[in-house]
Amino acid sequence: MDNRWRRKQPRTCGQEVSSTEWELVNLSEQEEDLVYRMYRLVGDRWTLIAGRIPGRKPEEIERFWIMKHAEGFAEKRLRRAD
């Protein structure tokens, strides 16, 4: 069999994590406020927003935003508050 015609599969560094398995992202009140204000200014440009918060990655900011505003995570947030 000729291997050069085989399609290469993309390599992944790790396993993908389902959004239902995400850990809640804890941001301070100041960080949350900054994320909200920056989102109103620049939209979902997570890299730009994360650059304004030391020690935060764009993936963390996006995950925080999704978890805070998605209906599927509302139940998880309520359990956490108890």
Return d(Cα 16, Cα 67) in angstroms, integer.
17
pLDDT (tens digit per residue) in 26-80? 889 999 999 999 999 999 999 999 999 999 999 999 989 988 887 665 565 556 5
For the chain, the domain total comes to 1
Tell me: the pLDDT tens digits for 3-21?
A: 555 554 444 444 444 555 5
Let me know if residue 21 belongs to a domain.
no
The whole-number pLDDT of residue 14 equals 47
Segments forming the whole domain that contains residue 46: 26-81
pTM (global) more than 0.75: no
Measured CA to CA, the distance from residue 82 to residue 78 in angstroms comes to 7
User: Could you give the CA distance from residue 30 to residue 62 in angstroms, rounded to a whole number?
Assistant: 17
pLDDT for 6 equals: 53
CATH no. for residue 75? 1.10.10.60
